[in-house]
């Protein structure tokens, strides 16, 4: 049971996660379509979203190192200001019909996301070791609110003003401002004494651990393959002439699938083991592919993306849980930075590739391309179990 102070901090971090993901969900719902409308080359429709992921990737390492020096609160406050500037630039982009300006705005959104991904690690830091998995899971559960807020904001604010999507980015501005106020009220741990760095292991030694390798694969494959399918889905639905409200509906259920299981994922990991939960996550994404290959009705997209979300949840929380077992207090900044750098590098490639694959090869090939990566994740779990068995025999 979390103490009152820890529970309050975890709750506020869950709100921070909810507001972060509400913006990201709105962008996922609308960015590819806005990009398609603004870009001369339609193959670049997902470029703005890819730029967001690229900047999140490029930000991951400096964000972790900055927060190591200045503390979590300072880092999250700085990123909130950057997000607010990005929302203003996005307003300008949709008014002036500027694809370049929209790409620059999503770059600033990516910087914010690069910092915001550390909300889950901040949760692990405010909780005691016995409740680390539960705290991570509860914070990610904040994304349930995003499933309601993000797509509905995208749908209802899209035509709220004379300029299409201008209302959406006014909403983004308000969400970033609310999160800034929320972050200011959270009690974060103080930064670690820099003099303790001499006791940290080299990063290559940390990264050579089987637990680290499997943790990173869980995060990289789960997040990038989810991003690939999720980013391509609005384009596939547009190609099938489904209404934008249907796209928003499908994305809403996808985000529910991503975050609603978080209320129980931590408990499932504690009961059944993290390796089993990651494996189940990979199998759920495979089920998503099977559904996508068997039809393009709204119901197919709905069920597929819901299962995709649950699969991501199991793989990402499982990978994060494994990662927290690979470092000590003085090693956490560089280890978390390397993990998130690798995760967002893969997500950037996947989100950019989604538009090109969808445009050039079609929806079926987008789905088929995911299968080999899921097999790699499942094989890595088997390899980890084999390593554990050898270690037990050695003992």
In whole angstroms, what is the distance from residue 262 CA to residue 117 CA? 16
Residue-wise pLDDT for 35-50, tens only, equals 888 877 777 777 888 7
Owning domain of residue 146: 4-190+199-390
pLDDT, position 163: 75
Residue with tokens 């197919």: 300
Task: Classify residue 395: in a domain, yes or no.
Answer: no
Task: Classify residue 262: in a domain, yes or no.
Answer: yes
119: Cβ contacts below 8 Å, ≥ 6 apart:
13, 16, 17, 20, 76, 139
Residue-wise pLDDT for 288-330, tens only, equals 999 999 998 999 999 999 999 999 999 999 998 899 888 887 8
pLDDT, position 249: 85
Residue 292's CATH number: 1.20.1250.20
pTM to 2 decimal places: 0.75
Task: Classify residue 317: in a domain, yes or no.
Answer: yes
Mean pLDDT of 243-257: 85
Task: Classify residue 276: in a domain, yes or no.
Answer: yes
Contact between residue 366 and residue 357 where contact means Cβ atoms under 8 Å apart:
yes
Q: Write the DSSP string, 53-85.
A: HHHHHHHHHHHHHHHHHH-HHHHHHHHHHHHHH
pLDDT(25) > 90: no
Q: How many domains does the chain divide into?
A: 1
In whole angstroms, what is the distance from residue 110 CA to residue 27 CA? 11
Tokens of residue 139, six digits: 């914070």
Task: Classify residue 242: in a domain, yes or no.
Answer: yes
Task: Classify residue 333: in a domain, yes or no.
Answer: yes
Q: Which residue has the higher pLDDT, 377 or 133?
A: 377
The residue among 129, 112, 106, 56 whose CA lies nearest residue 340 is 56
Tokens of residue 165, six digits: 């999507």
């Amino acid at each position: 049971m979390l103490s009152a102070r820890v529970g309050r901090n975890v709750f506020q971090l869950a709100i921070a996660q909810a507001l972060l993901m509400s913006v990201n969900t709105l962008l996922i719902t609308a960015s590819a379509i806005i990009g398609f409308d603004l870009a001369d080359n339609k193959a670049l429709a997902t470029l703005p979203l890819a730029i967001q992921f690229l900047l999140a990737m490029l930000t991951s390492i400096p964000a972790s190192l900055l927060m190591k020096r200045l503390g979590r609160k300072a880092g999250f406050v700085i990123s909130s200001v950057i997000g607010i500037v990005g929302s203003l630039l996005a307003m300008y982009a949709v008014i002036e019909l500027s694809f370049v300006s929209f790409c620059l705005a999503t770059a600033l959104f990516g910087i914010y996301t690069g910092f915001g991904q550390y909300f889950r690690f901040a949760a692990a830091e405010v909780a005691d070791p016995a409740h680390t998995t539960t705290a991570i899971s509860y914070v990610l559960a904040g994304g349930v609110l995003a499933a309601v807020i993000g797509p509905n904001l995208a749908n209802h604010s899209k035509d709220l003003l004379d300029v299409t999507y201008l209302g959406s980015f006014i909403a983004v501005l308000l969400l970033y401002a609310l999160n800034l106020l929320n972050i200011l009220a959270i009690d974060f741990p103080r930064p670690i004494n820099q003099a303790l760095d001499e006791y940290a292991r080299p990063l290559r030694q940390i990264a050579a651990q089987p637990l680290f390798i499997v943790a990173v694969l869980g995060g990289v494959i789960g997040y990038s393959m989810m991003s690939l399918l999720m980013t391509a889905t609005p384009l596939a639905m547009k190609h099938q002439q489904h209404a934008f409200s249907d796209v928003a509906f499908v994305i809403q259920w996808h985000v529910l699938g991503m975050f609603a299981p978080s209320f129980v994922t931590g408990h499932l990991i504690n009961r059944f083991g993290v390796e089993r939960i990651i494996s189940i996550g990979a199998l759920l994404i495979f089920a998503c592919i099977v559904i996508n290959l068997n039809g393009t009705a709204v119901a197919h997209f709905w069920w597929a993306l819901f299962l995709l979300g649950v699969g991501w949840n199991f793989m990402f929380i499982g990978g994060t849980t494994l990662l927290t077992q690979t470092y000590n207090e003085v090693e956490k900044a560089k280890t978390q930075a390397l993990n998130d750098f690798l995760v967002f590098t893969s997500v950037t490639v996947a989100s950019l590739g989604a538009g090109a694959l969808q445009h050039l090869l079609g929806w079926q090939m987008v789905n088929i391309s995911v299968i080999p990566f899921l097999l790699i994740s499942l094989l890595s779990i088997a390899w980890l179990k084999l390593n554990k068995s050898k270690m037990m025999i050695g003992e």
